[in-house]
Structure 1
Amino acid sequence: MAETVSILEALTTQSREQLMRHARPRHFTAGSALFYKGDDGTWLYLIEQGLVEISLMSLQGKKATLNHLGPGEVIGELSALDQLPRSADALALTDTGGLVIPKQRLAEVLRDDSDACLEVIRLLCSRVRNASDMFENRAVAPASVRLAHCVMTLIRKWGETDEQGLLHLSQQLSQAELGEFAGLARENVNRLLKEWQALGWLQFHRGQLTVLDAPALQAILDQSE
């Protein structure tokens, strides 16, 4: 499984312990919103279990999925840092449990830990670059490249190898959710998944994705560069 990087990992052990002393448990049921774009960002949330979708809705009512976040990842730190309203919607795709941390506590910790501030800046810059890559991919790439990019991104993040050496996505996602993440209609996702299954590159059954030939999917991305 790919290593999870969160804002908490930028803190020293002492600073992290100081911050977590103010954390309080909070649960969200599947389908409920943690927050919506424009809400006040008064807290950040450390996911301990479950899956959360970060998305934006266009003026035309079309949803674009920006990310899926799971255990060990933090949501809402941008508003906690820049003091501005939420920049996207956050929806619990499954029953989700975690810890709420008041934003003022993060500011206090960062004021006392200059090294952590630099690490946070590097982390946020990396996310900006990733967002730029995602925008470019959705804007100009053909459907096969978009979906291959989506699958490889998810596998790098949540891929797990079983005893037979098969690479599974640990989180279950529907074709519609894959489409929202890749910027494709569900029909296009369905067509490509069937083609790739026939080629022996992957398997997709009831939300469970198994990659059988990662180099073949990577080759689609390499040829597009």
Structure 2
Amino acid sequence: MGRQGFGALVSDDQWTLFLRAGSTRKFADGEPIIRQGEREDVVHMLAEGTVKVTAVRPDGIEALLALRGPGEALGEMSALTGRARSATVAASGGPCTTRVLSGHQFRLLLHRQELHGALLEHLVLRQTEGESVRTEITVLPSGQRIAAALLRLAALTGTDVGAAPGGKRGVVLRLGLSQREIGDWVGLSRASVAAEFRRLRDCGVIRTGRQYIAVLDVDRLRRISEGDPPA
């Protein structure tokens, strides 16, 4: 799987410069990398693993905002603006490795490599992603929302297992997410997520187990996200 986020918008040589400039940090599954509300002038370049981004809402409930994979810059906005962290970022689905740069190092590399345009594009794409999820919550029924969420997770963390029975393409997702967190992400209750997973299992589109979801038919899941009924 290639780099994602900011790393997907720069060359291999430029990405290597960011990695070499930082020191290595390793985080266990579930361990926070960045904490909401803290002020710390560092940027983490995500080299390996997957992270989840969460924030505590005004009602005190922690909500899942996004998941990020290798190539992402984490905490870059605080390094650029000097503001407190707006969210918590933690390793998810297994350990992860980052390269940690000071805010000064990050800003200097952006300037020397003339990458402010790439950073702006990265921020716009993040904003567009968030708006897309909010639109799905507003207009799509629960089954389509879950299918769309699983497709996003497949693109982020999926391991392609080749052709499943019948020549269908399969993907395994290893997640550090509960059904409640997935529900928060797509605006559904835990019970609704469980019900939609059951429908997808019953029609042979997914198989679930502890900490993983196997998508047995990616093309069928995509059609469901576009409005086809599961069965």
Cα separation, 1, equivalents of 2:109 and 2:160: 38
| Paired residue secondary structure (2:37) | coil
Which has the larger displacement, 93-102 or 103-112? 93-102
RMSD: 2.5
Residues 73-132 of structure 1 show CA distances to partners (whole Å, capped at 9, x for unaligned) of: 331122223332212111223333321111111111222233x22122122111111111
User: Are positions 1:222 and 2:226 aligned together?
Assistant: yes
Return the alpha-carbon distance in structure 2 between the equivalents of residues 13 and 96 of structure 1: 20
1:69 Cα deviation after fit: 2.3
What's the counterpart of residue 153 of structure 2? 154
- Measure, in 2, the Cα distance between the counterparts of 1:197 and 1:13: 40
Structure 2 SS opposite 1:150: helix
The ranges of structure 1 where at least 4 consecutive aligned residues each deviate by more than 6 angstroms after the TM superposition are none
Tell whether 2:118 aligns with 1:125: no
Q: Which position in structure 1 is the counterpart of 2:100?
A: 100
Aligned with 1:168 (options 155, 166, 171):
171
Unaligned runs of 5+ in 2: none
Query: More displaced, 140-149 or 189-198?
Result: 140-149
Gaps of 5+ in 1: none
- In structure 2, C-alpha distance between the alignment counterparts of 1:19 and 1:161, rounded to whole Å: 29
Which secondary structure does the structure 2 equivalent of 1:120 belong to? helix
* TM-score between both structures, scaled by the size of structure 1: 0.84
Paired-residue identity, %: 23
Tell me the TM-score normalised to structure 2 length: 0.82
In structure 2, do the counterparts of structure 1 residues 167 and 179 end up closer, same or farther at CA, with 3 Å as the change threshold? same
Match of 2:186 among 176, 182, 198: 182
Residue 145 (1) aligns with residue 168 (2): no
* Structure 2 CA distance for aligned equivalents of residues 118 and 31 of structure 1: 33
Q: Give the total of aligned pairs.
A: 222
SS of structure 2 residue aligned to 1:38: coil
